[in-house]
Amino acid sequence: MSAVSVVDADRDPEGTGLRTIDELATAAGLTVRTTRYYASLGLLPPPARRGRMAWYDDTHLARLEMIRALQGHGFSLQAVEGFLSSLPEDAGVEELAVQRAMLTSWTVGAPQEFSRRQLDQHAGRRLSDDEIALIEELGMVHRSGDEGAERFTPVHGFDVAVALLDLDIPVSGMRLAGEAISHHMSALAGDLTVILRDEVIEPWRREQNHSRDEAAQLEGTLARLRQLTLDAIVSAFRRSANDVIARSLHRR
């Protein structure tokens, strides 16, 4: 990452938007220790210097907000580090806001990791080894750790998978349904992401000199758009299901 230009030693930084490490940490909602740790990993560009004082600008704050947002959506620090290293060295506040909005637009919260006992509590009943294996096969829970000290991370849809286990339907049917849903949802998510980028993000990006408030407004708009999109998907599926039923009745 390129260094921020050095502040003139004779210039008073007050009023320029620059912050000390303490002020930066407070603005980002982090401790100074955590902020220094992120900086030591290279997640922040070097600060500006005025004598022996280090000063941080809005770009530093935007990067910290990016880290917090991505971690809050379940991304590991290693994944965040890899992503930040791929950004242009001169990426500013606006670009960071756009990237953060794109990455978090469809995600809906950080996943939780459970022990086996906690997983049963989360499911509301005791799950057998075979049931957990099936839910894992359906992609609704991820397993990690060594045998005897395994950890389980349910993903969205875990509760649905548990409810399906209580129905008297063939396991083969559950597998086929899971494969169909996964296939079509992956394709749909890809198409919607392209539309979001081309029709919403890129036009916004072409407008110059957005403020931090405007960047925050964009992120809020995308969060609302996410919910409306999910509602539209459910409604569209219901319409399609009704069309299938209507065609079936017509043929009969």
Domain that residue 130 falls in: 116-172
* pLDDT top residue among 197 and 209: 197
**Residue after which a domain boundary falls, among 91, 106, 130:** 91
Contact 105, 222 (CB under 8 A): yes
Position 9 scores a pLDDT of 46
How far apart are alpha carbons 107 and 69 in whole angstroms? 11
Position 157 scores a pLDDT of 82
Q: Region 72-93: what's the mean pLDDT?
A: 80
Same domain for 86 and 120, yes or no, is no
pLDDT tens track for 223-248: 788 788 888 888 988 898 888 888 87
Position 110 scores a pLDDT of 60
Same domain for 27 and 84, yes or no, is yes
How far apart are alpha carbons 1 and 90 in whole angstroms? 8
Same domain for 120 and 161, yes or no, is yes
Q: Which residues contact 42 (CB under 8 A, 6 or more apart)?
A: 1, 81, 85
pTM over 0.75: no
Residue 211 lies in a domain: yes
pLDDT at 1 over 60: no
- Please, what is the end-to-end C-alpha distance for the chain in angstroms? 67
Contact 100, 60 (CB under 8 A): no
Domain count of the chain?
A: 3
Backbone angles phi, psi at 129, to 5 degrees: -60, -40
Residue 5 lies in a domain: no
Quick check: helix, strand or coil at residue 186? helix
Residue 3 lies in a domain: no
pLDDT at 126 over 90: yes
Residue 13 lies in a domain: no
**Quick one: which of 53, 47, 52 has its CA closest to 35?**
47
pLDDT tens track for 138-182: 888 888 888 778 899 888 788 888 998 888 888 888 888 888 888
* pLDDT top residue among 42 and 211: 42
Q: What percent of the chain has pLDDT over 70?
A: 89
Residue 142 tokens, joined: 């991820």
